[in-house]
Structure 1
Amino acid sequence: MEVLTVAQMKQVEKRAETEAGIPTLIMMENAGRAIFAAIATAASPAGKRIAVICGGGNNGGDGFVAARHLAAAGAAVTVWVAVPKEKLHGDAAVNYRILEHSPVPIRHIFKEADLDKLAHSLQSADFAIDCLLGTGIARKVEGIYRGIINALNGFDGRVVAADIPSGINADSGE
């Protein structure tokens, strides 16, 4: 298996868009469906309780797509978002707006009290999907994001991460 650096992966995605003509919205849909497929391979989503934790970038958008497909397959999905919807942009904002028109509850994690609600929600979840931070993170994670990652790390169930677990540097593994 060949492992790509962050820069190489960005080049692959850019070439898919510019040379193959694949819209980024389609790439996000495919990524979200792949997350759905990873869960569906492990267990039937029907009746499962799934917490999807999303940031404001493309990983968050992948999570919005996955949540929609999991809910359509009968899972009880709750989406947790770490940014106000006004800060979402591009394809992530498009998929958030689509999700708003679904029955999937959307919760926000902006302050410490919200972390307690997330931790409580995770106690009853069968799966957690980590779509908080992606391959672009190259700095130490602090504040509310550190708290969210700690909550995910304390989760006893299965965690599926989009791209890479949040807080891990994709080039160094640290």
Structure 2
Amino acid sequence: MFTISCSEMKAMDSYAINSIGIPSIVLMENAALKVLKNIDLEKIDSFTLVCGVGNNGGDGLAIARHLVLANKAVDLFIIGNLDKRTKDFNINLNILNNLGIDFIHITKDEDLKKLKHSLNISELAIDSIFGIGLTREIEGLFRKTIDIINKYSKDIISVDIPSGLDGDTGQVLGISVKAKKTVTFHHMKKGLINSKEYAGDVIVEDIGIPDKATKMVLGIE
């Protein structure tokens, strides 16, 4: 199976955006739509989404918007320092604000009780806390959040990679979401190959990054 490292994926993403001219927000929207493609919306009506403040979280916000517009019951949680949110995360958050879609910002243990309650009543949890850029050990409120997701979710789908998994090695960085399905983008990441316990069934989806980006990064003629 063809696999790529996280640094190669970032370089391909960057080439598509900066050299080919595909707006990054377009790739984010494509990613969200491809995750939705892998959810049975005919059968599932209630969702808990947990998003970080980076671009993986931005994917989650876009997913949340589409679910709300499809008249699904959506509880949206955001964890992380909102002062450090990325540009495309912020674009999607502003859209949600303009639509009047609320979220709970996980900043204290009390908020985790709300997350636990949501997971107890929803049919599917969507994990978009950390993407492939994570390299540090997870601790504190993030660790507690992932522990609650694992303990109380009926079903979990992870966006690009389970939060807490090293995208290159498959090492668990202290704790990791245990997804039943992971929708990863463009090409299979090396760290997902032998990580079924955490990634579940891995689906690779095209989000519109041209082959030219792959070939340029890998030096393929």
Higher-Rg structure is 2
Aligned-partner SS, 2:99: coil
The two structures have a TM-score, normalised by structure 2, of 0.73
Which residue in 2 is equivalent to 1:30?
A: 30
Alignment of 1:47-62 (within 5 A): 48-62=45-59
Residue 18 of structure 1 deviates from its aligned partner by 2.1
CA RMSD of aligned residues (A): 1.5
Which residue in 2 is equivalent to 1:157?
A: 154
1:94-143 deviations in whole A, cap 9, x for unaligned?
11010112243311111111111101110001111101111111111000
Which residue in 1 is equivalent to 2:5?
A: 5
**What is the identity, as a one-letter code, of the residue corresponding to 1:23?**
P
1:53-77 deviations in whole A, cap 9, x for unaligned?
0001001100010000111112111
Which residue in 2 is equivalent to 1:66?
A: 63
Q: Say if 2:123 is the partner of 1:126.
A: yes
Q: Say if 2:137 is the partner of 1:101.
A: no
Identity of aligned residues (%): 36
Alignment of 1:37-52 (within 5 A): 37-39=37-39, 42-44=40-42, 48-52=45-49
**What is the identity, as a one-letter code, of the residue corresponding to 2:42?**
S
Cα pair 2:47 2:73 within 8 Å, conserved: yes
Aligned-partner SS, 1:168: coil
The two structures have a TM-score, normalised by structure 1, of 0.92
Which residue in 2 is equivalent to 1:114?
A: 111
1:71-92 deviations in whole A, cap 9, x for unaligned?
1112111110013544323110
